[in-house]
């Protein structure tokens, strides 16, 4: 279970997260939505201990993430997989090395086992035979899928996806969502998915949280968000704008 308690964060004196509290139960797939610049990615980085909050606490399975020593935090991170918004593939490694990297670092796996798992991962993301290529030779969609494979190769029980379909065409986006759906159906995974693709995450998330200007303004299920009468929530969920454009 992930428990976020009263998280606040300032950036250059300006509050970017204001007293955010959220509980994600084990096995829940939470969709974190909201306009750009609302603080979604920052919240995700705070949850997995990459950024320290100015106030509040984050508990993963009742462990206070930000009170851990570097070694304890590293141990916790072995149980977390993260897909970054801009891929974050290591330029100096080829695709196979990128995917195999978490397994090498974890230790206890033979080279044959790692090779087999990498090969299977490439098949799972529909990119067999590209293991020798380097990230700069791949398209955005391919990078995203490789990054996905790297984040799940250790089969972590907690997964964070930061805008997995940002900048992708609809066909590639649907391929990514199929992968996320597969992770969901395999079960046992607690995940948080940030996305602007409402249509896409409707099917893969059980719960939704909407963050606007650093404030959490809604948390609820699919039915609850449909029935919610907060204008901002409806605007975002239905994808319309009140503003008129000059023509």
Q: Whose Cβ is closer to another protein: residue 82's or residue 183's?
A: 82
Q: Per CB under 8 A, does 194 bind another protein?
A: no
**What percent of the residues of the chain are helix, what percent strand, and what percent coil, each to the nearest 5?**
40, 25, 35
Alpha-carbon 30 to chain mean position: 10
Which pair of tokens denotes residue 13?
A: 């004196």
Question: Which of 85, 97, 172, 181 touches another protein (CB under 8 A)?
Answer: 85
Sheet of 14-24: strand order equals 14-24, 2-11, 55-60, 63-64
Number of residues that bind another protein (CB under 8 A): 22
CB atoms closer than 10 angstroms to residue 50? 12
Q: Which of 40, 45, 145, 175 binds another protein (CB under 8 A)?
A: 45
Q: How far are the Cα atoms of 1, 65, 211 from residue 56, in angstroms, in the given order? A: 17, 11, 17
CB atoms within 10 A of CB 48: 20
Residue 48 in contact with another protein, rule: CB under 8 A: yes
Q: Per CB under 8 A, does 170 bind another protein?
A: no
101 contacts another protein (rule: CB under 8 A) = yes
Q: Which of residues 103-142 bind another protein (CB under 8 A)?
A: 105
* Residues from 62 through 81 that contact another protein (CB under 8 A): 70, 73-75, 77-78, 80
Q: Which residues bind another protein (CB under 8 A)?
A: 45, 48, 50, 70, 73-75, 77-78, 80, 82, 84-91, 101-102, 105
């Amino acid at each position: 279970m992930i428990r976020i308690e009263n998280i606040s964060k300032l950036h250059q004196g300006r509050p970017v997260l204001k007293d955010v509290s959220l509980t994600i139960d084990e096995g829940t797939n939470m969709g974190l939505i909201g306009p750009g610049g609302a603080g979604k990615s920052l919240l995700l980085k705070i949850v997995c201990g990459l950024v320290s909050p100015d106030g509040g606490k984050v508990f993963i399975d009742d462990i206070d993430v930000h009170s851990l020593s570097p070694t304890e935090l590293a141990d916790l991170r072995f149980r977390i997989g993260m897909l970054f918004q801009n891929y974050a593939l290591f330029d100096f490694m080829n695709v196979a090395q990128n995917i195999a990297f978490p397994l090498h670092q974890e230790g206890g796996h033979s080279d044959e086992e790692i090779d087999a798992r990498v090969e299977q991962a490439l098949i799972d993301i529909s990119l067999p035979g590209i293991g020798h290529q380097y990230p700069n030779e791949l398209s955005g969609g391919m990078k995203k899928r490789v990054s996905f494979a790297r984040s799940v190769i250790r089969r972590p029980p907690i997964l964070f996806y930061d805008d997995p379909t940002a900048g992708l065409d609809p066909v590639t986006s649907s391929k990514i969502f199929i992968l996320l759906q597969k992770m969901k159906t395999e079960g046992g995974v607690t995940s948080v998915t940030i996305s602007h693709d409402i249509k896409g995450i409707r099917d893969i998330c059980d719960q939704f949280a909407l963050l606007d200007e650093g404030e959490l303004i809604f948390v609820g299920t699919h039915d609850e968000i449909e029935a919610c009468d907060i204008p901002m929530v409806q605007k975002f969920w239905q994808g319309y704008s009140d503003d008129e454009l000059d023509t």
